[in-house]
Structure 1
């Protein structure tokens, strides 16, 4: 199944909550003017090496790779800068906090969702070109597994 992202809505909880694996039932604030949602997932550090004496049939050394550590990459968000938007104001608050905030992404069908906890690790106004509108760029650093339609993914 293909998922359309056009018309997706992104929410932030109105306060940080302890990462207990459960997300708040209420208190979600929509973040307005979202233009780009970035990505959610995992990536691995990889160590590569050539054990002594390992050669392929052409006499070339064989390199092996080993996954060594999994991490959650940053999720960049881009939106039109609206200083009156309640969700954007909460992002500024979260950026000044040491706490992780719950986030929830609702796809246009209204039932497909993603939810996670994240630190707001960067926020700033992007002036871009002189004939454009000011943007707000935010980087989220997920700190929890990602819930996909209520099922936790690792």
Structure 2
């Protein structure tokens, strides 16, 4: 079933993470919602290519190398009273990884929505001031440093 991205939410745990939590550990963390998000961006594993060409058969072979969960580029209307945006800006000032949770708006009637958990470094937190007829934006890049832990939507 396809679903709209509207209603999706992202949260940050303000405690730095030194290792990748299990699903149970992710669910036990304290989360702070990040509000006014316009764009969440993309995230998920992509494998790097390792190629090898043998002289004998002149055939290039490709195998999977390391996996990269990507960079999630978020854009949000700047709200300096928002606890989630304050946490993002504070996290960018450190060298540590933080846990993130994304909740989609895809719950079946009376059920629970799907969720994604991951660990990331907040690589940037910059302001964007465009035209006179626009909103001041806070743009953040999250370097995802873990696998994406998926929880699928469930019926009641």
1:37 matched to 2:40? The reply is yes
User: Secondary structure in 2 aligned to 1:91?
Assistant: helix
- Indicate how the Cα distance of structure 1 residues 50 and 11 shifts in structure 2: closer, same or farther if over 3 A, else same: same
Task: Please give the secondary structure, in 2, of the residue aligned with 1:63.
Answer: strand
The aligned residue for residue 15 of structure 1 is 15
Runs of at least 4 residues off by over 4 Å: none
Partner of 1:78: 75
1:44-88 deviations in whole A, cap 9, x for unaligned? 221335432536xxxxxx433232222221111111111111100
State the secondary structure of the residue aligned to 2:89. Answer: helix
Q: Which residue does 1:28 correspond to in 2?
A: 31
Q: Which runs of 5+ in 1 are unaligned?
A: 56-61
Helix, strand or coil for the counterpart of 1:15? strand
Inter-partner Cα distance in structure 1 for 2:139 and 2:79: 12
Using structure 2 for the length normalisation, give the TM-score: 0.81
| 1:93 corresponds to 2:96 | no
Distance in 2 (CA, whole Å) between partners of 1:49 and 1:26 is 44
What secondary structure is seen at the aligned counterpart in 1 of 2:134? coil
Give the match's secondary structure for 1:7: coil
Residue 13 of structure 1, CA deviation: 1.1
Residue in structure 1 matched with residue 149 of structure 2 by the alignment: 147
The answer to whether the Cα contact below 8 Å between 1:13 and 1:24 also exists between their aligned partners in 2 is no
Alignment-derived partner of residue 125 in structure 2? 123
Gaps of 5+ in 2: none
Larger Rg: 1
Shift of 1:26: 4.7
What is the Cα deviation at residue 43 of structure 1? Answer: 1.5
TM-score by length of 1: 0.82
Aligned to 2:134: 132
Q: How many residues get paired?
A: 144
Q: In structure 1, which of residues 54, 59, 71 is the aligned counterpart of residue 57 of structure 2? A: 54
